[in-house]
Structure 1
Amino acid sequence: MKNNLHKYTEQEFKKDELLAIIASNLELDETRKNQMESAYKAVNDVLSRDVNFFKGYTISVYAQGSLLIGTTIKPLSGKEFDLDIVLHIEDSYHNHSPSEIYDELYRVLSNNGTYRALLQKKNRCVRINYNSDFHMDVLPGCIIASNNTRLMIAENEYRKFWSRTDPKGYAEWFKEISERNNGSFLLQERYGLLLEAKIETEDLPTHLYFKTPLQRTVQIVKRYRDLFYLNKDKYTSPAISSIVLTTLLAQCHQGNLSIQDSLRNAMVQMKKLADDYKYHGIKFTVYNPVDNHEDKSKRENFTDSWKDRHYSSFVNFVESFEKKLNAFINYSTTESNYTDLFGAGFYKENIQTIVQLEERVAGNSRLAALLSGTAYTNSSGKINVSSGVKNGSHGFYAE
């Protein structure tokens, strides 16, 4: 933080704010989130009432993935949101077989009138296909030890062997990386200045300012992923899973203070992985970063099913995203550049929001004084432009 400091320009700030507005409009709304929370709590209630198997154990059902780490995005039109949840059985996996816990889960749900017609068997989970715009994948697992969050789950479609996972541990890992330099993020600092300058903030979309740059980066990259693969053949151009993208982006993150710097940094790192494969045939592996088993073959491997076509697909995706991101961030935010990255929705609304925010701060002498370092704080703690202790300037600094 002490070396290679540069000062953000007002234009760079506005670009970060616009990216936050865009990502915010991509996110699942609270109504949908609450609907999904009610859905998995209802599953928990049904399983808890089962007297033949589950009533003998302490169980809990909770969300994993994007809902847990705050990186949800709305599905494209005609597509469904994939809600991943865990059925956490508080009993050692040594007491069960992988097929047993899977079959017991399916038995209870299939015997319930609400779920019977909605069920679909998947390799490791049981899917509930709701008559709405989302489906829920229920992944059953047993604990490894009582003093950690790791679980053992069914290995594959035959469910004869166990494999390891750790959804809660993964969420903590992501959160720790995401919140590095928390309190110093560009948009957080800007919001603090708006409060100090007494700009009317009650109508400001305050949620824009408190997602981390990494969370926004994941949302933006996932949206382009959905657009990029929309009409492509699933076999020759398999889409990159959210868990692989999210893990790579977190591993690339360097505590960046702005969304645009986080995106640029991610592209540099991911382009290197793409080039290593494209030009040298070097394949990367993405393990669950919180699985530290000494035998790598037993670690949870998010790319264990990847073939040459997956790596080629990754190369094509990264090259395309880099080109379109560069056009949007470094050149212009025209509607054409916008739709290339984010699709056709919300462009006018997003631009209108950024214009309204600019109008609120334009001509505010208190904000101008705070930014330039010519503001004062008097003995009553009030900020003014004439008397008291001189405040330092706020320049929006980043690495």
Structure 2
Amino acid sequence: MNWFTTPLGAGGVHRATVPGCRKVLVIVPSVVAGTRLLDLLPLLDSDFRIQVYFTLPEPCGSTTRFLSAIGGLVIPWEMALQHEFDLVLAASYRFIDRAPGPVLVLPHGASAMKSRQRVRAAGEGARPVHGLDRQLLMRDGKVPASAIVLSHDQELDVLAESCPEALPAAVVAGDICLDRMRASLPFREHYRRALGVEPGETLVTISSTWTAESTFHQRPELYRELPRSGKVAAVLHPNIWAAHGEWQVRSWLAGSEVMIIPPEEGWRATVIASDVVVGDFGSTTQYAAAVGTRVLLATCPEVRDGSLAHALRRVVPMFAGDIAEAVAVPGFADLISSRLDQAGAILRATMYRLLGIQEPAHAVPVAPCSLTTA
């Protein structure tokens, strides 16, 4: 991009149709982070006082396509670092120590607490981690984030023990992704029709996180052998698509007759439309349980005690060929969020506090989930 075509460039103020805006920078290191931040951005809609910019600290094909599809104004990371922003939004702790402005960081999955026991690259002898570890939250003896979004009061207790220096930045806001899914439940039949599910048909969704411990690697036969009493959909973690490429993913699933849901959006509507989700320790399975969809586990490695995946593993059967064994998990939404249906209001108030301007008077929007990225 030409650095001089945005309102930030030299002489940019003379090109701006809406000058004098507060500047919001959205850091997109991955599609996973980007999709979560898209839940946050509608809270800034209709405000002519704000201009949103996107930046890719490590540009790659998947993130570039993602931002191109949504029509975001993208500026180079090097350019972003030369300016001061009124608010920086992130869904990953990567790069925020260099962020040019006050940072709000939120989880990019269910809970700020990781389900896996250890950092993947750390080896067997590494200590268990939980996602609010001191080494993750601090840089050079300081907490770079101005607002650390938590989903549950229990996470606040963990933070107080692991990194008390971060407590002043903590905001227990609940889970905006879950809130959107709950708001979308009345549209279940609409989603089923859009997916081509006929009345009386069963929709089974196979959910997979990434890594070699996932459904996609551990149980590839499911995509071809799952009982065809209706329709089958596949929801794959965006990192699978990013690491292996769209062509390869579709090639691996060629001939499987499953509906392949795009990684950017559509997975939530598909989960809501499903009769059963067969998944693993990833967030998609947890969100499915939280909105009342019956679930089964295709695989589940050793996970951290007390994690959401551990809670599911205790009550959800392993899939052994019969989807009738799938179970609902009452109360699971309360394990994910202690501020059910409040995330939008809390997050908008936090963003405007960091921006230093008054919140709009209109109600906080809660948009139903979409089956497309448009």
Mark yes or no: TM-score above 0.5. no
TM-score range, shorter chain: under 0.3
**TM-score, normalised relative to structure 2:** 0.25
**TM-score, normalised relative to structure 1:** 0.24
